[in-house]
Amino acid sequence: MRLENRESLAKKREDAKAAMKQPKHRILVCAGTGCLAGGSAKIYDRFVELAAKEDGVEVAFGDEAHQGIHTGVKRSGCHGFCEMGPLVRIEPSNYLYIKVKEDDCDEIFEESIYNDRPVERLLYESEGVKYETQEKIPFYAKQTRLVLKNCGHIDAENIDEYLAVGGYRALEKVLFDMTPQEVIDEILESNLRGRGGGGFQTGYKWKQVARQKETERYVVCNGDEGDPGAFMDRSVMEGDPHKMLEGMMIAGYAVGAAEGYIYVRAEYPLAINRLKLAIAQANEAGLLGENILGTGFHFQIHINRGAGAFVCGEGSALTASIEGERGMPRTKPPRTVEQGLFGKPTVLNNVETYANVPMIINEGAAWYHTIGTEGSPGTKAFALTGSVKNTGLIEVPMGTNLRDIVYDIGGGVKNDVPFKAVQIGGPSGGCLVTRDLDVKLDFDSLKKLGAMIGSGGLVVMDENTCMVEVARFFMNFTQNESCGKCVPCREGTKRMLEILEDIVAGKGTEESLTMLEELGEAITNTALCGLGKSAALPVLSTLRNFREEYLEHVVEKRCKTGNCQALQNYKILPEVCKGCSKCARNCPVNAISGKIKEPFVIDQAVCIKCGTCLENCPFGAIVKES
């Protein structure tokens, strides 16, 4: 049923609120990609069975299903605590169960639904403390979840739940109470900065699009989250798709656009399905389409799936890809705000940026400035991964320091190995080291450190990580993902990769490091697009922070972390060796020789460091040295 006016929207919201309150208990099964992979679909099915059996009512989705039952089972979006998945949350008690298996469902149902008691063994425990409710768990307690507020708490496949928690209030407000100029002014005032990497002022972009002569304009959402280890945007699209759609609609109203495009990677099938569903539901409700809520505002949103090219996250490559062209960045000017999609003025923001918009409209720019720092207000979502105890999706105010993120929210480095560095901003970013732990993370402070917030990937690395190998990994990624257009990026990254491959293979020299710097500097200064200009940053930043580690690789031919296979030496301890010859018999290249019952020796020049000897030695006489 299409909502024709403001009153019918208000009524629908009230109905939705009532329906959401109706079940006495809600079981929220995380249906984010991580938990789904952990088997949460089966857990969900089991709960549906249990709920249906007890109440004698079939449990399904949609309005009718809420009527007359006492237990609602929901497929929620990502809770963020992916390390501990699959996650199940019980409301209203707010118990959060971790690492739930299908077999646990009956017990959870019995204890938490009927007896209102927690299942102790499934609660999160840290340093001897068991945490009953989600809100008390340090991982959540230290966060400020605004953008991710609804993720994990509402049914991502039901527009009513979004309406019930206040969704589309901002759209309603702009359509009925604000002029497009007022909307732009509010966003400008809030100093919302693009969450996709550059940190460009969102309001300024909107303002520029709004003042173009051409009246056909577009709103584009960049959901092509390609950084290895980043999944913030995916979680928003999967867990709270309407929030992002609402942000796009508000942008459309502000700049006078009638059509929006979401460019999302095809590798995110769940996000695509949820977005499709959300768009269909919004259309059905009359929140998208012609004459929205009777105001005369038209807006439609299309989904374009990207074929997995990293470079399509760059604005002009992204619009080219939507147009059906090869995704290659073009020279600017003209900028996207002047001639973007189909050559028309285009607002291009990423998922998280749009998801910030409704709350700014609802709460006001002044409120927004109370969160975060002066120059970077608001929060930022990060994908916390790597060698950290609590990996997952987090959201903190801008300006939070790295120490709080790694040690308080992340629970510290895994296995309590000393911290070494954090790679921030993926292949376009740089590394932050121990001395940067107390730096406030925001757009400007990171730029000073030669890193960037990027889209928000945070990969924690411990003492056992080889930084040369890390640089090689990112350079390999960048070279494979270079669009191949400009010479510095296409050819320069190829040569940098070759040099890094040489270094980890023990074939580097000190000149290799000079050459890396020469190439890195040239690429940074002369590449065509933003991705090219930042392609060398991981190498330059590790070279700056860990030069001695590079020198160990090229001068001493040594990798102390043991990551670089070619720089390992296998050695037979003569005092332990019994001379059984098993190692020699198993060596694939005949590098080991010796007399029976006397210590054997490895010819280092022949050894290919495969480790077979070490695995085969019955006496533990073979050791790996780095």
Partner 1 sequence: MDYITIDSKKVPIEGEKNVLSLIRKAGIDLPTFCYHSELSIYGACRMCVVEDERGKIFASCSEQPRPGMVIYTNTKRIQKYRKLIMELLLASHCRDCTVCHKNGMCELQSLAYKVGVHDVRFPNTREERPIDMSSPSIVLDPNKCILCGDCVRTCDEIQGVGAINFAFRGSKTQVMPAFDKKISETECVGCGQCAAVCPTAAISIRSNVSVVWDAIEDKNIRVVAQVAPAVRIAVGDHFQIPKGENSFAKLVEALRIMGFDQIYDTNFAADLTVMEESAEFAARLEKGEKLPLFTSCCPGWVKYCENKYPEFAENISTCRSPQGMFSAVIKEYYKESDEKEGKKTVVVSIMPCTAKKGEILRKDNFTDGRQDTDYVLTTTEVIRMIKQMGIQFDKISGESADMPFALASGGGAIFGTTGGVTEAVLRRLSPNKDYQTLRDISFTGVRGEEGIKETVVDYQGREVKIAVVNGLANAGKLLDRIKAGEVTYDFVEVMACKRGCIMGGGQPGPAGPRTKQRRMEGIYKVDKSSNIKSSDENPAVVALYQDFLKGKEHRLLHRNLK
Is 182 a residue that touches partner 1 (CB under 8 A)?
A: no
User: Which of the residues 60 through 79 are near partner 1 (CB under 8 A)?
Assistant: none
Q: Which is nearer to partner 1, 477 or 570 (CB)?
A: 477
Q: Which of 11, 70, 326, 547 binds partner 1 (CB under 8 A)?
A: 326
CA–CA gap between residue 151 and residue 241 (Å, rounded): 9
Of 219, 221, 243, 220, nearest to 171 by C-alpha is 243
Q: Which is nearer to partner 1, 484 or 562 (CB)?
A: 484
Residue 358 preceded by cis peptide, ω within 30: no
Q: Are strands 25-30 and 88-91 parallel, antiparallel or unpaired?
A: antiparallel
Minimum distance from CB of 327 to partner 1 (Å)?
10
Residue 333 preceded by cis peptide, ω within 30: yes
Q: Which is nearer to partner 1, 307 or 573 (CB)?
A: 307
Minimum distance from CB of 306 to partner 1 (Å)?
14
Q: How many CB atoms sit inside 10 A of residue 236's CB? A: 29
Q: Which is nearer to partner 1, 441 or 475 (CB)?
A: 475
Minimum distance from CB of 526 to partner 1 (Å)?
5
Q: Which of 493, 534, 542, 568 binds partner 1 (CB under 8 A)?
A: 493
Find out whether 190 and 171 touch, Cβ atoms under 8 Å.
no
Residue 435 burial class via C-beta count within 10 angstroms: exposed 0-12, middle 13-18, buried 19 and up = exposed
Stretch that binds partner 1, among 272-280, 283-291, 412-420, 491-499 (CB under 8 A): 491-499
Judged by DSSP in three states, 419 sits in strand
Residue 92 preceded by cis peptide, ω within 30: yes
Find out whether 119 and 104 touch, Cβ atoms under 8 Å.
yes
Stretch that binds partner 1, among 347-355, 403-411, 434-442, 476-484 (CB under 8 A): 476-484
Q: Which of 56, 62, 128, 333 binds partner 1 (CB under 8 A)?
A: 333
With tokens 């975060």, the residue in question is 372
Minimum distance from CB of 489 to partner 1 (Å)?
9
- Residue count, binding to partner 1 (CB under 8 A): 33
Binding string to partner 1 for residues 425 to 464, with x set by CB under 8 A, is what?
Answer: ----------------------------------------
Q: Which of 484, 574, 611, 620 binds partner 1 (CB under 8 A)?
A: 484
CA–CA gap between residue 602 and residue 557 (Å, rounded): 18
Q: Which residues contact 258 (CB under 8 A, 6 or more apart)?
A: 252, 298, 299, 300
User: Which of the residues 496 through 535 are near partner 1 (CB under 8 A)?
Assistant: 498, 515, 518-519, 522, 525-528
- Residue 133 token pair: 């409710």
CA–CA gap between residue 13 and residue 446 (Å, rounded): 42
Stretch that binds partner 1, among 325-333, 362-370, 396-404, 541-549 (CB under 8 A): 325-333
Q: Which of 175, 264, 309, 318 binds partner 1 (CB under 8 A)?
A: 309
Find out whether 550 and 594 touch, Cβ atoms under 8 Å.
no
Q: Are strands 601-602 and 569-572 parallel, antiparallel or unpaired?
A: unpaired
Q: Is the dihedral of CA 328, 333, 336, 339 positive or negative?
A: negative
Is 483 a residue that touches partner 1 (CB under 8 A)?
A: yes
Q: Which is nearer to partner 1, 148 or 527 (CB)?
A: 527
Q: Which is nearer to partner 1, 346 or 493 (CB)?
A: 493
Q: Is the dihedral of CA 237, 241, 246, 252 positive or negative?
A: positive
Stretch that binds partner 1, among 170-178, 209-217, 264-272, 322-330 (CB under 8 A): 322-330
Stretch that binds partner 1, among 214-222, 247-255, 445-453, 477-485 (CB under 8 A): 477-485
Interface residues toward partner 1, by CB under 8 A:
309, 311, 326, 328, 330-333, 479-488, 490-495, 498, 515, 518-519, 522, 525-528
